[in-house]
Amino acid sequence: MKFTRKIWIFLGIGCFFISSLFSQRLLAKEVRVLTNHLTDEVGILSLGNQSQIQNILSGIETKTSAQVYVYIIPSLEGENLESYSLAVAEKSQLGQKGKDNGVLVLLSTGDRKVRIEVGYGLEETLTDVLCNRIIRNVMIPEFKKGEMAIGLMAGVRAIETILYGNQENNSALSSDYPEGIGMALSNESTPKNIAFAFGILIITWIIYFVLNENKFFKGKKWLEVLYGLVVFICLWYFFPDALFYFFCLGLIAGNLYLLYGIWTPLSYLYSFLSILFWIPFLHLTFKTDFQVLYWVFGIIGFLSFAIKIFSDDVITKKFNQIAKGWGMSPKGLFLHIISFLTFAFTIFSIGNGERMVYILFYQGLILFSIYGLGFQSFHFKPVHFFIVIVLWLCLIAGFVIYLPGTGENTKTYNLEIMVIWFQWFLCLVGGFILTKSIEVSSWKYRFLKYAFIAFVWTLGFSFHSFLGYSESRFGFIFLFSYGALLVLHFLYVVANESGSGSYSSSSRYGSSSSSSYSSSSGYSSSSSSGGGGGGFGGGGSSGSW
**DSSP letters of 236-270?**
HHH-HHHHHHHHHHHHHHHHHHHHHT--SHHHHHH
Per-residue model confidence (pLDDT) at position 409: 42
Helix, strand, coil share (%) of the chain residues, nearest 5: 65, 5, 30
Distance CA 491, CA 514 (A): 56
Closest-CA residue to 180 (of 241, 114, 247, 135): 241
With a CB cutoff of 8 Å and minimum separation 6, the contacts of 464 are 416, 419, 420, 423, 470
Per-residue model confidence (pLDDT) at position 472: 66
Does 499 score more than 50 pLDDT?
no
Would you call 329 exposed, middle or buried from its count of C-beta atoms within 10 A (0-12, 13-18, 19+)? middle
With a CB cutoff of 8 Å and minimum separation 6, the contacts of 463 are 419, 422, 423
Mean pLDDT along residues 214-220: 75
CATH C-level class of 38-178+517-544: alpha beta
- Please write the tens of the pLDDT for every residue from 366-410: 999 888 888 878 777 888 888 998 899 888 888 777 765 444 444
Is residue 71 within 8 A of residue 29, CB to CB? The reply is no
Across the chain, how many H-helices and E-strands are there? Answer: 24, 6
- Please write the tens of the pLDDT for every residue from 49-105: 889 999 999 999 888 888 999 999 988 888 888 888 888 888 888 888 888 889 999
Distance CA 37, CA 527 (A): 6
Query: What is the C-alpha R_g of the chain?
Result: 35
Is residue 309 within 8 A of residue 315, CB to CB? The reply is yes
Question: Residue 178: which pLDDT band, with cuts at 50, 70 and 90?
Answer: low
Long-range contacts made by residues 192-198, C-beta under 8 angstroms, separation at least 24? 193/239, 193/241, 193/242, 194/239, 194/241, 194/242, 194/245, 194/246, 196/239, 196/242, 197/235, 197/239, 197/242, 197/243, 197/246, 198/242
Does 119 score more than 60 pLDDT?
yes
Would you call 328 exposed, middle or buried from its count of C-beta atoms within 10 A (0-12, 13-18, 19+)? middle
Distance CA 425, CA 431 (A): 9
- Percent of the chain having pLDDT more than 90? 6
B/e letters for 515-531, b = 16+ CB within 10 Å, e = fewer, are: bbbebeeebebebeebb
Question: Residue 26: which pLDDT band, with cuts at 50, 70 and 90?
Answer: very low
φ and ψ of 382, to 5 deg: -55, -35
- Please write the tens of the pLDDT for every residue from 412-436: 567 778 888 888 888 888 888 888 8
- Percent of the chain having pLDDT more than 70? 79
Q: Is the dihedral of CA 29, 33, 38, 40 positive or negative?
A: negative
